[in-house]
Structure 1
Amino acid sequence: MNLLNESHLIYTHLAAKTPPFEKLKDKDPRWKKHRGVEQRNAGLKWLRENLILNKNKGVVYFMDDDNTYSVKLFDEMRKIKKVGVWPVGLVGGFNAEAPEIDTTGKVSGYKSGWKPDRPFATDMAGFAINLDLILSKQDAQFSYKMAKGFQESEFLGYFVTKDELEPMADNCTKVYVWHTRTETPVIKGELPGFEV
């Protein structure tokens, strides 16, 4: 909250609890449960209730607390007409997962460490959607019924086909977002004079 207040950006801070049946237990691997379903759907609901189709401009991007972003990524998003895609660094066991681009400039497949044959084999950090598409497709949302690891694919399927994706970041050759993961730090003590 302090970061948002100090940013001087216009924002709305939403909160949504993950239901108990989807909460990870201490020893559970991260992939065992869906994450972010309630939170992303709360954001989509707010947009649809507060913004107007063809009047408000922008893109919808699902940022995560375990990613690191270059400001260049947000410059790229300004170009999106429907759905823009780009590589994500340090994900899937690769230095970067990325859409593969053919000689016509279209997405032909994906370099992905996990199920590259998914309809949209991308990380949540690897795409953004034009706001008008979000507002025009009222039924598009995330679900606990989606197969594990298919949230991105099923959600993007509401809006575009693979042929309609817009390769960004110099034709998907540059990495402007990295999955650096947020982990609980081990604190050995506190140094006086620092406000956290």
Structure 2
Amino acid sequence: MYRHLVCKRNLTDIKDRQLHQRNVALSHIETHRLDGIIYFANEDNVCSIDLFQQMRHIRQFGTWTVAKQTWDKSRFCLEGPVCNGVQVIGWHLNRLSRRFRSFHTEMSGFAFNSTILWDLKRWHRPTLEPIRQLDTVEDGFQASIS
């Protein structure tokens, strides 16, 4: 099953478009109380079908290693979680990425249970404050860009 959602804002900046599209999707999931796994795929991601098979096992939050092309396009590096059993305790980053990013994980490096957005009791959330990416945040601090 799939749903096609429309972001009604006319935006020319690709980063703004992605941000507003994600927020429209999050709002739709909350409004309709959809139960499933949320993964933010971008048009430039290449994913193995195995990734989607593994996502079926996520109960709360899942994260994994992502291969990244370096900023000068000359090499690839791996970035991903450092885990202690089932708990994420750190993040592997290359030195250059660390300098330019405010968040360690890539949007393509995690997925989570959609009920976190709307089931207060299950996740012990004190309020139904919407979870959104803010469009008022200073450029470069919204999401990782590298």
- Which residue in the other structure is 1:96 paired with? 78
Q: Which amino acid aligns with 1:112?
A: L
Gaps of at least 5 residues in structure 2 are 120-127
How many pairs are equivalent? 130
- Which residue in the other structure is 1:128 paired with? 111
Q: Secondary structure at the match of 1:73?
A: helix
Contact 1:17 1:39 in 2 (8 A): no
C-alpha distance in 2 between matches for 1:35 and 1:112 = 26
Contact 2:102 2:140 in 1 (8 A): no
Q: How does 1:29-178 map to 2 (within 5 A)?
A: 34-51=16-33, 56=35, 58-91=36-69, 93=71, 94-102=76-84, 104-113=85-94, 114-115=97-98, 121-136=104-119, 137-151=128-142
Gaps of at least 5 residues in structure 1 are 1-9, 25-29, 154-196
CA RMSD in angstroms, aligned pairs only? 2.8
Q: What's the % identity of the aligned pairs?
A: 32
Q: Which amino acid aligns with 2:89?
A: S
C-alpha distance in 1 between matches for 2:81 and 2:53 = 19
**Alpha-carbon spacing, 1:119–1:69, altered in 2? closer, same or farther (3 Å):** same
C-alpha distance in 2 between matches for 1:83 and 1:150 = 22
Quote the offset at 1:48 in angstroms: 1.4
Superposed CA deviations along residues 48-67 of structure 1, whole A, max 9, x for unmatched, are 12225xxx3x1111111110
**Alpha-carbon spacing, 1:152–1:141, altered in 2? closer, same or farther (3 Å):** same
Contact 2:91 2:104 in 1 (8 A): yes
C-alpha distance in 2 between matches for 1:105 and 1:75 = 18
Provide TM-score, normalisation by structure 1: 0.55
Contact 1:17 1:38 in 2 (8 A): no
Provide TM-score, normalisation by structure 2: 0.72
Q: Secondary structure at the match of 1:40?
A: helix
Q: Secondary structure at the match of 1:115?
A: helix
Contact 1:85 1:127 in 2 (8 A): yes
C-alpha distance in 2 between matches for 1:105 and 1:47 = 27
Quote the offset at 1:152 in angstroms: 5.1
Contact 1:37 1:142 in 2 (8 A): yes
- Which residue in the other structure is 1:15 paired with? 6
